Chain A
């Protein structure tokens, strides 16, 4: 049995192979339990943490002398501090703003706030390019622009440049609802059927309109509040 764990001067190839499997599992567990937010929701600090976690977990593969203790202890330490800070941030808004940063207003009521732009090293080119990414090609259309803590820019256009909504025209719009899935890959969800206030007989009668007699030949079927069916067959 080759040496795998502990400090090893001359590690064999087979030792590395086993270490790689172990590291793979550690990476999976770290990603699964430590990173709760998706990557583009991360604030700058979280982002750096992701990089360190990556570098830390693979360290035993760089050198035989770096044992798993040297990886796991720092991992646990980072987790410990991150956990403490998240805990305090949940309780106290001031602390949260210190650690996660505060949103910064870059354009207030159509006026560029030079101070804030300078403070966050955003030059006019960058601001224009970020606005373009938000479909605003003319800066005079912007009422508010806010630099969020995760680095994204939120843009609110001037009132009269926003799309017309049913409210403007005094139209009553159809209320939006979330259709429920009732058949997924041939399997019937009876719970959702009951929630929509229909039963299996109703479903089979209505399915015959789509020339389907067998539930198992349906890939996906959904139902909305007004009992409208959407059916997609397998073939």
Chain B
């Protein structure tokens, strides 16, 4: 094993040296992914996509090519992450400067031709999008917007939407966000405090289903109607 070949350059790498190199890069990439937050896959703007492709390619080339230096790769990774963070910060501070604007494609059932050609979409594309969004009748569409993330959002005329409880004058009980309260017998304090609950409440809930010992609970979920759903 030769430390110089691992960290700098060499003619050849042995299997162990390759393993060490790859492991270092793996954990570095993990660190940078963690630092960048977990926005990329879902809220996927073209910029994030390119960034992820680029950063992984840099790492991959350092893993396979003994002639490229690992230290260089590590420095590039760090700077790449910093640039990413800086631009993400700009996104937050000066959104008009970095982010693309959403474009309205359909308004009140009418196609806006100018915007359609600006977004490089054809009428066939538009109808395909409408069908995929469960709106095959363009007359019922209030708004169709091409979002900066590349996806499309649609607002259907509210008289064509399912009837809501408000329309029917039904006054529902308020509910809470369902969360995992107990996992393998351990209670999540944060969730407990947030919902103004205490251990006595858990005990009384467990009593109603004949469980005396909290350690027997594998999973306890706080349901939206503030009850405890238990799985042993």
Contact = CB atoms under 8 A, between A and B. Distances in A.
Contacts of B184: 93
Which of A49, A71, A123 has the largest number of chain B CB atoms within 10 A?
A123
A121 B45 CA distance: 13
Interface in A149-169: 149-153, 156, 159-164, 168-169
A125 B95 contact: yes
Given A126-B91, A164-B163, A137 B143 contact: yes
A52 B53 CA distance: 8
Interface of A: 7, 39-40, 42-45, 47-49, 51-52, 54-56, 59, 63, 65-66, 69-71, 73-74, 77-78, 81, 93, 99, 101, 105, 108, 118-126, 129-130, 132-133, 135, 137, 144, 146-153, 156, 159-164, 168-169
A45 B95 contact: no
Interface of B: 12-13, 15, 18-19, 21-23, 26-27, 29-30, 33-34, 36-44, 52-53, 55-57, 59-61, 63-67, 88-89, 91-92, 95, 99, 102, 143, 145, 147-149, 151-156, 162-168, 170-175, 177, 183-184
A42 B44 CA distance: 12
A70 B177 contact: no
Contact of B148 (A39, A101, A129, A144): A129
B53 A51 contact: yes
Contact of B60 (A43, A56, A120): A56
B164 A164 contact: yes
Nearest to A132: B153
Contact of B155 (A48, A63, A137, A163): A137
B39 A105 contact: no
A81 B39 contact: no
A153 B66 contact: no
Given A54-B56, A55-B61, A70-B18, 8 more contacts: A71-B64, A126-B99, A129-B153, A132-B102, A132-B147, A160-B172, A163-B163, A164-B162
7 contacts: A42-B41, A56-B63, A59-B60, A101-B38, A153-B43, A160-B164, A161-B164
B41 A122 contact: no
B52 A47 contact: yes
A153 B26 CA distance: 28
A73 B15 contact: yes
Contact of A162 (B26, B95, B165): B165
A45 B30 contact: yes
Nearest to B65: A66
Contacts of A48: 29, 33, 52, 55-56
A83 B101 CA distance: 41
Given A56-B60, A121-B92, A129-B149, A43 B177 contact: no
A149 B33 CA distance: 12
A51 B41 contact: no
A118 B30 CA distance: 22
A160 B53 contact: no
B163 A133 contact: no
Contacts of A78: 22, 26
B95 to A, nearest CB: 5
Contacts of B143: 137
A47 B183 CA distance: 28
Contact of A108 (B39, B89, B177): B177
B177 A105 contact: yes
A150 B42 contact: yes
Nearest to A131: B153
Nearest to B60: A55
Contact of B26 (A42, A81, A121, A163): A81
Given A48-B29, A52-B56, A101-B38, A73 B22 contact: yes
A168 B168 contact: yes
Contacts of A118: 92
